Amino acid sequence: MIYFDFAATTPLDAEAAEVFVQASTEFFGNSSSLHDIGGQSQDLLENCREELAILLGVNKKGLYFTSGGSEGNFLAIEALLSAPKKAGRHIIAGMAEHSSIHGVLNRLDGYSITYLPLNASGLIDLEVLERSITPETVLVTVQHVNSEMGTIQPVEDISRICKEHDIHFHSDFVQSFGKIDLKKIAPLVSSFSFSGHKIYGPKGIGGVYINPAIAWKAFFPGGSHERGFRPGTVNVPAIASMTAAAQKLNDQLVQSQERFLELRAILVDSLNPIKEYVHVHQAETGSQLPSIVGLRISGIEGQWMMLECNRYGFAISTGSACQIGMQSPAKVTQALGLSSHEAKEFIRISFGKTTKREDVVKLGETIVDIVKKFKL
Ligand SMILES: Cc1ncc(COP(=O)(O)O)c(C=O)c1O
């Protein structure tokens, strides 16, 4: 089976796995225990916090570890709403946000929410954002990179607009962490979330940054870990392993992006024989993560294509893994304003560090064969 679903999750990096085992066996103490064994674990935890803060260009005082991106999104939004810059009950959110963002917004009481669609290039229209702001707007939440088509939202511009209007800005960095240098943009937002398992780290670990100037109130009562932000014994081995994985990816950032650009071009080229049916949803190169390809093949249901590819030994996706078991199509299709018929055609192919050129060619040829058999 050849894996083309790296945007859903990644295998654990071998060195990160070694770090996990070593930290689990040698630094097993509870980082809150006051004896030396707890202290060693606490030292490792703080060292990881510092290393990640350096990687992200933020103050380590604002970094908190969570069980992943979903919990990070939830707790960040609750934290920002507990300390708004001004009184108000209006929130602006991207329509194609991850389900964890929609989940936290749906459960809020007494807030009105404006959802921003995406333009044809999969980007937020900044004019629509500005027009949606009211004196009541206290929070804007827009993801950095879309998980289904890989478009990169203009975080700098959104941050500037939010600052001008005294609005908190949360951005979900789960799909950009480890893939884009975040040092310049991370300090511009009020909060961001990240996750370990998208970057060859362990599953069930991630984190959140909240600008330390924000006086948030804890969502969970009575917690002492993570300075009251999140209760529960801290998963130091997973944090150490995620930190090692993040550092490794960061060292290869430029080469990886060049390789992914080449793989993307190879895939698109290999679909040439059926090009009249293929619609790649993407932005211009500077606003597009090359490793995620979101596309439709007209007249062919994405779910059927995914199952056919699976039968031929290729793991692709119909969009966010979190949609599995639900009938709803990828969120991005709604945000793009596609018809329900078109939305069902959506598939996502995503590359990772082990993706080979020849495998991309094979996948392209297989899709062409499947389409030809179906159409003829
Ligand atoms: C954009 C985005 N945000 C959040 C998440 C959730 O992260 P986690 O699986 O760590 O909870 C995902 C994972 O699919 C994602 O793609």
Pair (38, 179) in one structural domain: yes
Q: Is 162 designated active site?
A: no
Pair (116, 191) in one structural domain: yes
Pair (206, 337) in one structural domain: no
Pair (246, 145) in one structural domain: yes
Q: What is the DSSP letter of 12?
A: P
Nearest alpha carbon to residue 242 among 54, 77, 19: 19
Pair (197, 266) in one structural domain: no
Pair (303, 227) in one structural domain: no
Are the beta carbons of 115 and 93 closer than 8 angstroms? yes
Q: Which of 48, 162, 309, 322 is catalytic?
A: 322
The reply to whether ligand 1 has any atom less than 6 angstroms from the CB of 321 is yes
Pair (257, 286) in one structural domain: yes
The reply to whether ligand 1 has any atom less than 6 angstroms from the CB of 195 is yes
Q: Which of 70, 77, 143 to mutate to test the pocket of ligand 1 (most atoms within 8 A of CB)?
A: 70
Last residue of a domain, one of 250, 274, 297: 250
Pair (33, 103) in one structural domain: yes
The reply to whether ligand 1 has any atom less than 6 angstroms from the CB of 98 is yes
Pair (238, 326) in one structural domain: no
The reply to whether ligand 1 has any atom less than 6 angstroms from the CB of 180 is no
Q: How many beta carbons lie within 10 A of that of residue 36, not counting itself?
A: 10
Q: Per-residue pLDDT tens for 195-214? A: 999 999 999 999 999 999 99
> CATH number for the domain including 49?
3.40.640.10
The reply to whether ligand 1 has any atom less than 6 angstroms from the CB of 143 is yes
Number of domain units in the chain: 2
Pair (232, 277) in one structural domain: no
Nearest alpha carbon to residue 49 among 67, 70, 31, 63: 63
| CA 147 – ligand 1 centroid, Å | 8
Pair (324, 218) in one structural domain: no
Q: Per-residue pLDDT tens for 257-296? A: 999 999 999 999 999 999 999 999 999 999 999 999 999 9
Pair (141, 160) in one structural domain: yes
- Higher-pLDDT residue of 222 and 252 is 252
Q: Per-residue pLDDT tens for 66-116? A: 999 999 999 999 999 999 999 999 999 999 999 999 999 999 999 999 999
Which residue range forms the structural domain that includes residue 125? 14-250
Q: Give the helix ranges, DSSP H, for 180-323.
A: 236-251, 253-270, 302-311
| CA 296 – ligand 1 centroid, Å | 23
The whole-model pTM stands at: 0.96
